[in-house]
A = this chain, B = another copy of it.
Amino acid sequence: MTALPRRIRDELVAIVGAANVRTERGDLTPYARDATPLFHAYPDAVVFPGTTAEVAEILKLATAHGIPVTPRGAGTNLCAATVPEAGGIVLVLTRLNRILEVSGDELLARVEPGVTTARLADAAEAAGLCYAPDPGSRTASTVGGNVATCAGGLRGLKYGVTRNYVLGLTAVLPTGEIIRTGGRLWKDVAGYDLTRLLTGSEGTLAVITEITVALLPKPSHSGTGVGYFRSLADSGRAVTAVIAAGIVPATLEFLDEKCIDAVERFAHLGLRSDAGALLLFGDDGDGEMVTVHLARIAEICGAAGALDVTLAGSVARAEALLAARRCSLPALSRLGSLTILEDATVPRPRLAEMVDRIDDIAARHDLLIATFGHAGDGNLHPTCVLDPDDTDAVQRAHKAFAEIFAGAVELDGTITGEHGVGAAKRPYLADRIGTDQLALLRRVKNAFDPAGILNPGKLGS
């Protein structure tokens, strides 16, 4: 840690006020980590801007003096995207937390980046609308962080991810210019698509200070069901048959045997103990089609050899089923004090094959890796549970995940479906996109950030 020169600190105070600049070690501690285990690094200062203009002033100062700046929302990301590995300033955007507009006429909302995902979703719902992206961390995560990481969620196949809902951005370049990309329109091709380029750029290209997102009418009906299968391969066949039947349901989540067991021991939901896989399915929409779809999915699960299929007869039961999926991570976390959650992703038909590979890799490295995730879009969350003080196990886990990423790429998949690259996946990026594309990312980064101050060492470095 190199402390910030006194005059830089004074300039920061002049921009945002003394209350919004922290440099005491105790105040820095919460910003030395995000939700990613094993990664931490102290910043030299934490700064809380309150306006776009203040962000611009801070960035100009940082560019002029070559000070690293790591933008951050709630820090719920799982790829160490907001760990300030190069020190410098952590720029916390949670003071920019106003919902500026929710328009039913235009089916959009305009928010500042520090608004939490759940608050945006609630505001949309209050207007009879729906904000579709639903990342697992939605109660804590910010919309700014969702955009920066192109957050996914449980409804990717039917509803898409954050990128599909971002209509426009206000962003500050590292050199201080304020740009407005896109706007309030579904169709706008005036210029390169910087809106989508900034979405998923993980705070390495610009700092987002306002976001316009598309909303949908709130579906009038929804329903949920669960199928137990002897094996993941059986459940995979059911998923393929559902899609082949022309149904793209909102939810198609799976838990492997180890997850079912952990969830049951944690939450006592009455899950079967003899199944190799649990498939949670759900749909939403208008009118009776939801009922028709769910019945058809149940039928298809049966034909694919399900041990048992149940439709939730009530909202309470549906919530309980969804809870089984939602509590996978806390349930697994109880099995050890360190939980490494990954998100390798493969084409949907190769999901069972990928889980088999993960199980092989785990066995070879003598690790407990349970897998749950989004069967609809092939997005797996293999989760390794271990003791952080067992340095040999931690080393084995690193090796196992390197093999898992390589396996996913080999199956036409990717090293990260929705969590991001950050510092955690940066070593594996070239394996996925190739060295020519990596060099191109660096040149794109340089076009935005010639001094290389924004989130150095991450994407684009």
A residues contacting B by CB (< 8 A) are 104-107, 128, 149-150, 152, 156-157, 160-161, 163-164, 173, 177-181, 183-194, 196-197, 199-201, 205, 216-218, 220, 240, 243-244, 246-248, 285-289, 292-293, 345-349, 374, 376-379, 412-421, 425, 429, 432-434, 436-438, 440-441, 443-444, 446-448, 459-460
What is the oligomeric copy number? 2
Q: Are B377 and A187 in contact (CB under 8 A)?
A: yes
Contact of A193 among B199, B243, B349 (CB under 8 A): B199
Q: Are B345 and A187 in contact (CB under 8 A)?
A: yes
Q: Are A192 and B459 in contact (CB under 8 A)?
A: yes
| Alpha-carbon distance A432/B181, docked complex (angstroms) | 10
| Alpha-carbon distance A197/B459, docked complex (angstroms) | 16
Known: A105-B348, A187-B156. A247 touches B193 (CB 8 A): no
| Alpha-carbon distance A288/B290, docked complex (angstroms) | 12
Q: Are A160 and B150 in contact (CB under 8 A)?
A: no
| Alpha-carbon distance A347/B348, docked complex (angstroms) | 37
Additional A-B contacts beyond A105-B244, A190-B414, A191-B441 (17; CB < 8 A): A106-B348, A179-B434, A181-B437, A185-B377, A187-B417, A187-B418, A188-B414, A188-B416, A188-B417, A190-B425, A190-B429, A194-B437, A194-B440, A217-B243, A217-B246, A220-B246, A447-B447
Q: Which residues of B contact A104 (CB under 8 A)?
A: 243-244
Report the minimum CB–CB distance from A3 to chain B (whole Å).
Answer: 33
Among A201, A240, A441, A444, which residue has the most Cβ atoms of chain B within 10 A?
A444
Q: Are B292 and A289 in contact (CB under 8 A)?
A: no
Q: Which residues of B contact A248 (CB under 8 A)?
A: 107, 216-217
Known: A161-B186, A179-B440, A432-B191. A128 touches B246 (CB 8 A): yes
Q: Are A459 and B191 in contact (CB under 8 A)?
A: yes
Contact of A196 among B163, B287, B438 (CB under 8 A): B163
Q: Which residues of B contact A436 (CB under 8 A)?
A: 173, 177-179
CB-nearest residue of chain B to A343 = B187
CB-nearest residue of chain B to A164 = B164
Q: Which residues of B contact A293 (CB under 8 A)?
A: 286
CB-nearest residue of chain B to A379 = B187
Q: Are A190 and B157 in contact (CB under 8 A)?
A: no
Identify 29 residue pairs between A and B in the complex whose beta-carbon atoms are under 8 Å apart, listed by A's number.
A104-B243, A128-B246, A157-B186, A161-B186, A177-B440, A185-B346, A185-B413, A186-B379, A187-B418, A188-B416, A189-B414, A189-B416, A189-B417, A189-B421, A190-B433, A192-B200, A192-B459, A192-B460, A194-B441, A196-B197, A216-B248, A217-B246, A217-B247, A218-B246, A287-B289, A288-B289, A443-B447, A444-B447, A446-B447
Q: Are B244 and A437 in contact (CB under 8 A)?
A: no
Q: Are A150 and B193 in contact (CB under 8 A)?
A: yes
Q: Which residues of B contact A184 (CB under 8 A)?
A: 347, 412
| Alpha-carbon distance A416/B179, docked complex (angstroms) | 19
Report the minimum CB–CB distance from A108 to chain B (whole Å).
Answer: 9
Contact of A289 among B286, B429, B446 (CB under 8 A): B286
| Alpha-carbon distance A285/B246, docked complex (angstroms) | 11
